[in-house]
Structure 1
Amino acid sequence: MAAADTSMRHSAKALVAQVQRNASGRPGPRVITGRYRSSWQSDVHRAGPVIVAEVGTNAPQGRRLEFGFVGVDSIGRHYNQPPFPHLGPAVGTFGPLLMRELGTAISRAL
């Protein structure tokens, strides 16, 4: 199923690119240094017959930027930060495209 692997890798990279575009200003988070935006990565691997794509960031502010935060953080700072969704909208756009692309790759392989 090399076609399915290739399709998944392509789709994961496209999702990362869309997240990065969404994280380039409103309605997503604004770019200050570009480090957060460039922290988004994808990894595709097999788990037996299943192809797994992981898309994410190791940046500590990722969850807070996506979902917002109201409250006191671990060092006592008070926040009322609104959400700046950038991952959710990208998944909403690419989910159906990914399913269609994988379906085509599997059909060709069979």
Structure 2
Amino acid sequence: MTPDELADRFESAAKRIGPAVARGVEHTGTLGQARIRGNASGRPGPNVITGAYRNSWQTQTRRLPYGAQCTLGTNAPQGRRLEFGFTGVDSLGRHYDQPPFPHVQPALPFIEATLMAQMRLAVAEVLL
């Protein structure tokens, strides 16, 4: 391979890597959201009463020049208490001794493995 051919190949890969990574990050976010929602569907995670908390988990993906970022979270006020538990008095004077019902922490190894697999796929796609 000549230096010019190699330069062309690198230039082509540079143009394609951003979209490939963004697709992988978005897919990982979607699967991570589903895993957290699944973990928030009963023990050992929190029980489902109305489904509003489970459905409050959202993903937001933003594309960057050579990749993407994904934010996965909830705006529900009980999210932190459900994940980590709470013992004490809240701002309204109510007493709690609520144990933790982890649903995010158990999903993290899956999200990490999925992201790594998606990044390997993105690189393989660009190098072909």
- TM-score class, shorter: over 0.9
Higher mean alpha-carbon deviation, 26-35 vs 43-52, is at: 43-52
Counterpart of 2:101 (choices 48, 68, 84) is 84
> How far apart, in 2, do the equivalents of 1:93 and 1:49 lie?
24
- 1:11-50 equivalences under 5 Å are 11-50=28-67
Structure 2 counterpart of 1:101, one-letter code: Q
Structure 2 counterpart of 1:32, one-letter code: I
Match of 1:20, SS?
A: helix
Q: Which runs of 5+ in 1 are unaligned?
A: none
Q: Which runs of 5+ in 2 are unaligned?
A: 1-17
Match of 2:24, SS?
A: helix
CA deviation after TM superposition for structure 1 residue 53, in Å: 0.6
Give every structure 1 segment of 4 or more consecutive aligned residues whose post-TM-superposition deviation is greater than 4 Å.
Answer: none
Q: Which of the two has greater helix per residue? A: 2
> How far apart, in 2, do the equivalents of 1:78 and 1:49 lie?
49
Question: Alpha carbon RMSD of aligned pairs, Å?
Answer: 1.3
CA deviation after TM superposition for structure 1 residue 48, in Å: 4.3
1:108 aligns with 2:125: yes
> How far apart, in 1, do the equivalents of 2:99 and 2:86 lie?
7
Give % identity.
50
Quick check: which has more Rg, 1 or 2?
2
1:66 aligns with 2:83: yes
Structure 2 counterpart of 1:57, one-letter code: T
> How far apart, in 1, do the equivalents of 2:105 and 2:90 lie?
24
Q: TM-score, normalised by structure 1?
A: 0.92
The equivalent residue for 1:52 is 69
Equivalent residue pairs, number: 110
